[in-house]
């Protein structure tokens, strides 16, 4: 290929293909249009594709790149974290710079999730701020068999409470929807809902712990139990919330699908599997990363200095298709 060179960022794992422009001024959207089959092939074989050194100065350039892939950009409906919209793309999760966001597959806390994620590094952090990745099949393999069996048999139950000032409100979670639209969304997804006199909402959804990748046929870990579970909160925050609220009223929590608690040992094994498979690289300004959301989990390292990363997601897949 003229004006680009190709490599693999993590050859020992055969993960993350890197395509680097060797000449200035190459439009990522134009190059991707001409080489879409190549990108899709590398996405299937490597789980993620990094485009580096292309001319991607701003959000419109990122949006144009995403649109090359031919699928409508999805809205962050039923979101679990705060974000802001920038044109037709979004900011990455707006958590404080000191916080680490654990590895996870996007929207694996529900029964339908995006197939592809797109990241754009507009302003890399001064230090840290990486977006670690992990092979979802390798994570599944590392989790002890008895833990996998327990999760696969029961699934995961997510209980979420939406109150203004505690986590995300239902208006933020379901942007542009009124109560009736929220209820219809929940009914269509098989999500149980309950409104309270103070205007708060509780949803309960039981869904998959694992699924099968539609291209590779490999079993992948596909849930966010370790992220939603109350133990993921910093100890001081957790203790303060439990002094204020009953466990069932926490902003979010996770259980096994039969309603029984998830043990500390199981959560420790899951977190250890993610940590062992974590792969990270430093962002450079203008980097564009395409991720197969079923093949690879992602997270965020803590950071210093300003950091601006934009995201988009496309495609849709779910536990019904995988059944």
Q: H or E stretch including 227?
A: helix 225-228
Q: Are 318 and 79 in contact (CB under 8 A)?
A: no
| 3-class secondary-structure state, position 257 | coil
- What is the per-residue pLDDT across 298-320, written as a single tens digit (0 to 9) for each? 999 999 999 999 999 999 999 77
Distance, CA of 178 to CA of 93 (rounded, Å): 24
Cβ-proximal residues to 107 (8 Å cutoff; 6+ apart), any chain = 78, 80, 113, 114
Say if strands 48-52 and 15-21 run parallel, antiparallel, or are unpaired: parallel
pLDDT score for 82: 67
Handedness of CA 290, 293, 294, 296 (dihedral sign): positive
- What is the per-residue pLDDT across 64-118, written as a single tens digit (0 to 9) for each? 999 999 998 887 777 767 677 887 888 887 889 999 999 999 999 999 999 999 9
Structure token pair of residue 201: 């909402």
Q: Are 220 and 137 in contact (CB under 8 A)?
A: yes
Distance, CA of 247 to CA of 262 (rounded, Å): 14
Q: DSSP character for 251?
A: S
Mean pLDDT for the stretch of residues 36-50: 98
- What is the per-residue pLDDT across 111-168, written as a single tens digit (0 to 9) for each? 999 999 999 999 999 999 999 999 999 999 999 999 999 999 999 999 999 998 888 8
Structure token pair of residue 166: 């505690």
Least confident piece of the model among 88-92, 188-192, 193-197, 270-274: 88-92
Cβ-proximal residues to 147 (8 Å cutoff; 6+ apart), any chain = 266, 269, 270
Say if strands 219-221 and 210-212 run parallel, antiparallel, or are unpaired: antiparallel
- What is the per-residue pLDDT across 205-250, written as a single tens digit (0 to 9) for each? 999 999 999 999 999 999 999 999 999 988 898 999 999 899 999 9
Angle at the Cα of 177 from the Cα atoms of 179 and 168, rounded to 5 degrees = 85
| Residue-range domains of the chain with CATH | 4-137+273-322 (3.60.130.10), 143-217+224-269 (3.60.130.10)
What's the burial of 281, exposed, middle or buried (CB within 10 Å: 0-12/13-18/19+)? middle
For 13, 134, 243, the CA distances from 142, given in Å and listed in that order, are: 14, 12, 36
Q: H or E stretch including 102?
A: strand 101-104
Distance, CA of 78 to CA of 127 (rounded, Å): 32
Least confident piece of the model among 73-77, 101-105, 176-180, 288-292: 73-77
| 3-class secondary-structure state, position 296 | strand
pLDDT score for 80: 66
Distance, CA of 15 to CA of 5 (rounded, Å): 17
Handedness of CA 125, 109, 260, 144 (dihedral sign): negative
């Amino acid at each position: 290929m003229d004006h680009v060179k190709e490599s693999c960022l993590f050859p020992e794992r055969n993960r993350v293909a890197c395509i680097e422009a060797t000449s200035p001024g190459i439009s990522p959207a134009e190059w991707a249009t001409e080489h879409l089959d190549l990108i899709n092939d590398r996405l299937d074989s490597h789980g993620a594709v990094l485009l580096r050194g292309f001319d991607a100065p701003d959000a419109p350039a990122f949006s144009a790149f995403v649109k090359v892939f031919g699928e409508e950009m999805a809205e962050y409906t039923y979101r679990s974290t705060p974000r802001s919209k920038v044109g037709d793309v979004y900011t990455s999760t707006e958590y404080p710079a000191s916080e680490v966001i654990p590895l996870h597959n996007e929207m694996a806390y529900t029964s339908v999730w995006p197939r592809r994620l797109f990241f754009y590094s507009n302003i890399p952090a001064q230090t840290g701020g990486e977006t670690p990745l992990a092979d979802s099949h390798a994570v599944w393999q590392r989790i002890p068999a008895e833990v996998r069996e327990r999760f696969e048999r029961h699934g995961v139950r997510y209980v979420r409470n939406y109150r203004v000032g505690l986590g995300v409100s239902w208006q933020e979670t379901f942007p542009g929807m009124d109560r009736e639209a929220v209820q219809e969304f929940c009914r269509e997804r098989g999500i149980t809902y309950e409104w309270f006199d103070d205007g708060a909402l509780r949803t309960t959804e039981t869904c998959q712990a694992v699924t099968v990748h539609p291209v590779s046929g490999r079993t992948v870990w596909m849930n966010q139990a370790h992220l939603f579970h109350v133990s993921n909160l910093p100890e001081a925050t957790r203790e303060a919330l439990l002094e204020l609220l009953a466990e069932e009223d926490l902003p979010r929590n996770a259980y096994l699908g039969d309603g029984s608690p998830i043990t500390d040992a199981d959560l420790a094994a899951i977190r250890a599997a993610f940590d062992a498979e974590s792969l990270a690289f430093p962002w450079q300004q203008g980097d564009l990363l395409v991720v197969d959301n079923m093949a690879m989990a992602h997270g965020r390292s803590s950071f210093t200095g300003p950091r601006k990363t934009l995201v988009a997601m496309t495609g849709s897949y779910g536990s019904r298709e995988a059944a």
